[in-house]
Amino acid sequence: MTRPATVSAGRRATGGAEHAGGVASGFAVRRLVPADAAPYRALMIGAYRDEKDAFTSTAAERESLPLAWWEARMAVDDDAAELVFGAFAAGRLVGAAGLNFERRTRTRHKATLFGMFVHPDFRGRGIAGALVRAVLDQARATPGIAVVQLTVTDTNEAALRLYERCGFRAFGTEPLAVRIGTAYLAKTHLWCAVGERAP
């Protein structure tokens, strides 16, 4: 599946273009490239460490992966299986959200939003919403994609409200989805129609 040019928050854009609305707010959103792997790795390992309830992966699991794994996650190939958008403030990567494309024939109309995180020092500025919109715009611009799905820990009410504002709807809850120590957490599954054939 050929990937279109990078999309930035609400409008079609060429690769590397920034989120115009975000610039006025002191941040910009763009698709990450392999050269961004080191700061992306640092941001996300901090997320896995400090926001344990929000992620299925652990910091230790991700720290063990080579930098090449992180570079592959943001490959710029036309048929890349996944991509990542980053939010920058004063030249610093402060937030990220990824999009993974299904490969199997019967599920190639679906994509998954993953790894959504904004550094605590930069929350409340509209960055999270801009990242979600950039991911959804990219999905809409990708031929054949009809729906974007995601999961969120069901106690994370702020994240649930964000996704609902961006057009996601809950369709079920997975009990005992994640175990942290002796505690089990449930995950809410959400979806957002993005294609012409989506209901």
pLDDT digits (tens, 9 = 90+) for 163-199: 999 999 999 999 999 999 999 999 999 999 998 655 5
pLDDT of 199 reads 58
pLDDT of 195 reads 80
pLDDT at 3 over 60: no
- Confidence class of residue 22 from pLDDT cuts 50, 70 and 90? low
Percent of the chain with pLDDT over 90: 81
Beta-bridge mates of residue 148: 111, 192
Check if the beta carbon of residue 97 is closer than 8 Å to that of residue 116.
Answer: yes
pLDDT at 118 over 70: yes
Report whether CATH 1.10.10.60 matches the domain 7-193: no
Across residues 119-130, what is the average pLDDT? 96
Long-range contacts of 152-158 (CB under 8 A, 24+ apart): 152/54, 152/187, 152/188, 152/190, 153/53, 153/54, 153/178, 153/185, 153/186, 153/187, 153/188, 154/185, 154/186, 154/187, 154/188, 155/53, 155/185, 156/53, 156/54
Q: Token pair of 158, please?
A: 């702020």
Across residues 7-21, what is the average pLDDT? 37
**Model pLDDT for residues 136-157, shown as the tens digit of each residue:** 999 999 999 999 999 999 999 9
Across residues 45-69, what is the average pLDDT? 94
- Between β-strands 147-153 and 110-118, what pairing exists: parallel, antiparallel or unpaired? parallel
Q: Which sequence spans correspond to the domains of the chain? A: 7-193
